[in-house]
Structure 1
Amino acid sequence: MLLQRNFLSLALAAGVMSLASCTKGGGDFAKTPSGIEYKVFKNEGGKYSGREVAATGDETYKSRLGKILALNVEYRTYKDSILFNSRKQQGLPMRIELQDVKVKGGIEEAIAMLQPGDSAIFRFNVDTIFAKSFKQPVPPFMKPKAGKDAKAEPAFMTMYVKADKLQTREEATADQQKQMEEQQKKMMAYAEEQIKKDDVILQDYIKKNNLTAKKDPSGIYYVVTKPGTGAAPKQGQTVSVLYKGSLLDGKVFDSSEKMGNKPIEFPLGVGQVIPGWDKGIALLNKGTKATLLIPSSLAYGQRGAGQDIPADAPLRFDVELVDVK
């Protein structure tokens, strides 16, 4: 949970969720010779209507080769649980250079079926999509378990897509830079307001739990429960840390115990962990045990992390700085 991770690298925008709700169960899926099930919709005056795609693919695709397409995407498991929602997790659409389709049956072929402005639902067999598009084994939770007297049914991954702008490389680069700058400004303004709210929550938590805490200028509170005798780590040094992470209600979401009681190692101050760890661990001496109370803006912010860490959640980490290298 601590390391910054990119799971699946496509993006989500507002139209996808409305598409998912209004088309779910409506009409039959068509199917490509490679096995992709699909429904493609064109947007006419704000209303979606079905668009037929030839079995051999979209004949106009060749005219778009070399251009950059902005995609807004959501992935769901066979249980219809959201696997990836990058409007919340990334905030920006993914931009893909359109090329000749070399692999059939994967995301590459599905994207080639879309024209700018289209929305679509694709269903992929998980064994096929992970082998062809993700080049990795299928995670166990993506496949149903077989019953005692029957084999498991084939599992599918569903992808909801909205094809947005088609641009040249220069246009896409400029547009992406502008969006990133706008997003950064919004995130900074949001964080400034949220850290004030978090500070009230953390002070209340400290009072209710009778903690004697110090406050770092960054907004982190820390309680040294066992002082260390070694040196404090410096930026760039590799630190080894035992930890337990929990929400303020006590729910544990991650710990060294889950990893076989092995400490996590990372270079300090280079962004490989959440900012609250880079700042908080730097306050400790080697051998120190402490509690770090981290405001959400220095943790996982307004997006949260998976199903365990909600948006805008201040976090508690009980840590031990085992070693500094």
Structure 2
Amino acid sequence: MRFTSRSARQLALAAGVLSFASLTACNKGGGDFAKTKSGIEYKIFKKVGNSYERREIGPDGDPTYKDRVGKFLLGNMQYRTGKDSVLQNTRRDVGMPVPLPLQELKQKGMPDEALSMLQPGDSGVFRFQVDSLIKPKSGQPVPPFLKRGGNVVQMFVSTTNKLITQEEAQAMQPELQKRAMAAQLKQRMASPEYAKQMQAQKDAQAKALAEPAVQAQMKKDDALLQEYIKKNGLTVQKTPSGVYYQVLKPGTGATPKAGQTVSVNYNGTLLSGKQFDSSDKAGKPIDFPIGQGAVIPGWDEGIALLNKGSRAILLIPSALAYGTRGAGADIPANAPLRFEVELVDVQ
């Protein structure tokens, strides 16, 4: 769902550490909704001890808001229809409090104005008529599910006691984006279509590996890898698909499951010793979802064998790396590869 307010789109990234249970209970009680001049219905509460008390706002808004403009609240939120169907649950999707922008009010009746009514530590329930958020003149039709939900959008916000600066808010963005991407992947993995796609991908890979030309190349690669192993005195294990691996330093954490995001430091070389890539070039580990085809098949298989904190050598036949196409100027066609990897983190 897309609102006309820019901050509403920013709020879609919000998440938090507070529970909505008490706030939902306040919505059901605590008297009637008050209403702003712009048409927002609201209830605002401040926490006193273990309970919430209603806080009223004057007809001209919160006079202290001018002191907060340009800063950010930290909090969590949900969007719901008028019949309480959850549209967005940002705590679930990101799992940490994020910056909620406090901007100069250029348009009343929007989520920006709702946030302007909150002081740090407040919680609020806001109701917007859908027509006020999705303007008819914009040409964007009101989605049918919102009409069926009572033609109302509810916004639940629960904030911490902290205000932060723009610089602090920007510093949080990489972690927020990582968490949001992981949540999107998790949601996608739960769909029946995803299971079909993954099975189709496995079937296609199995079919490709069964091709006579590929099988012949796998035998050549295996001979090269065995020669490399003997020459370098490695003590390796072999997977059914043909990946050799040696754990140099065992980890103590869990092994990653399909769909989890892993962080990996690595150094990649040809069997000749020529380096073609390294995480040192980026100055940080590479992050990717395991088992999703985001990396070469040999990595998807090899990294999944390691515990968090492990260091290992992976020897990957070309069919499970870059195959007949190679990669750029540094990896020729049909090249088996050596990687030294460290599984830094599993999320």
**TM-score (norm. length: structure 2):** 0.47
State the distance in 2 between where 1:142 and 1:122 align: 16
Give the counterpart of 1:166 among 141, 163, 168.
Answer: 163
Q: 1:51 to 1:76 in 2, by over 3 A?
A: same
Within a 5 Å distance, the mapping from 1:53-68 to structure 2 comes to 53-68=57-72
- Aligned CA distance change for structure 1 residues 136 and 91 (closer, same or farther; 3 Å): farther
Higher relative contact order (CA 8 A, sep 6+): 1
What residue in structure 2 maps to residue 50 of structure 1?
A: 54
Quote the residue 1:87 is aligned against.
Answer: 91
Partner of 1:205: none
Where do 1:217-228 residues align within 5 Å?
222-224=202-204, 227=207
Match of 1:38 among 14, 39, 42: 42
Whole-angstrom distance in 2 between the partners of 1:141 and 1:274: 32
Structure 1: gaps (5+ residues): 1-5, 146-153, 192-213, 215-219, 233-270, 284-293, 298-325
Aligned to 1:107: 111
TM-fit CA distance, 1:112:
0.4
Could you say which residue in structure 2 is the equivalent of 1:261? none
The equivalent of 1:148 in structure 2 is none
Give me the whole-angstrom Cα distance separating, in 1, the residues matched to 2:58 and 2:139. Answer: 28
Equivalent residues in 2 for 1:220-259 (5 A)? 222-224=202-204, 227=207
Shift of the 45–67 alpha-carbon distance from structure 1 to 2, 3 Å rule, reads: same
Distance across 2 between alignment mates of 1:95 and 1:125 = 25
Deviations 1:220-268 (A, max 9, x none): 9933499468x99xxxxxxxxxxxxxxxxxxxxxxxxxxxxxxxxxxxx
Equivalent pair of 1:19/1:119 in contact (CA under 8 Å): no
1:12 aligns with 2:10: no
Where does residue 175 of structure 2 map in the other structure? 180
Q: Which amino acid letter does the alignment assign opposite residue 24 of structure 1?
A: N
What TM-score comes out, normalization by structure 1 length? Answer: 0.50
Aligned Cα root-mean-square deviation (Å): 4.2
Query: What SS does the aligned partner of 1:223 have?
Result: helix
Q: Aligned-pair distance for 1:9?
A: 1.6
Q: If you compute each CA radius of gyration, which structure gives the higher value, 1 or 2?
A: 2
Q: Hey, which of these two has a bigger chunk of helix by percent?
A: 2
User: Which amino acid letter does the alignment assign opposite residue 18 of structure 1?
Assistant: A
Q: Which letter does structure 2 place at the counterpart of 1:161?
A: V
After TM superposition, give the deviation of residue 70 of structure 1 in Å: 1.7
Equivalent positions of 1:150-161 (< 5 A) are 155-161=151-157
Work out the percentage of aligned pairs sharing the same amino acid: 42
Q: Aligned residues, how many?
A: 196
Out of 25-34 and 95-104, give the one that drifted further. 95-104
Shift of 1:157: 0.7
Amino acid at match of 2:16: A
Task: Give the CA deviation at 1:98.
Answer: 1.9
